Amino acid sequence: MLQENLEMATKCFKRSYSLCPTEDVGIALSNCFFKLGLDNENTDHLKEAANIFSKTKSKWAWLRLGVIYLNKDMANEAVNAFHACIRADINDW
């Protein structure tokens, strides 16, 4: 990823995430999808992450989903995602 080979980085992060899904790898994979303009793949990835991680560990996925929905002019979905992000950790301001 540091060498700007986003296709290879995405492939590596996908493999790593499938073997051991962690928050750090999930965020890195989401960043690759974002930089490559793969909104549909990113949305699917973030929805899956929001479901598999515990409530407090899923706030990153909800936040990113909200941003994607805002960019797509899907205001209701964005608000719901941001609410889920807040509910995931009400003390994280």
Domain ranges of the chain: 6-88
Are 9 and 1 in contact, with CB atoms under 8 Å apart?
A: yes
Q: What global pTM score does this model have?
A: 0.83
Nearest to 31 by CA among 53, 44, 13: 13
Nearest to 85 by CA among 16, 70, 37: 70
pLDDT of residue 2 exceeding 70: no
Q: Which fold has domain 6-88?
A: 1.25.40
| 26-82 pLDDT tens trace | 999 999 999 999 999 999 999 999 888 776 678 899 999 999 999 999 999 999 999
Burial class (CB in 10 A: 0-12, 13-18, 19+), 66: buried
Amino acid at 75: A
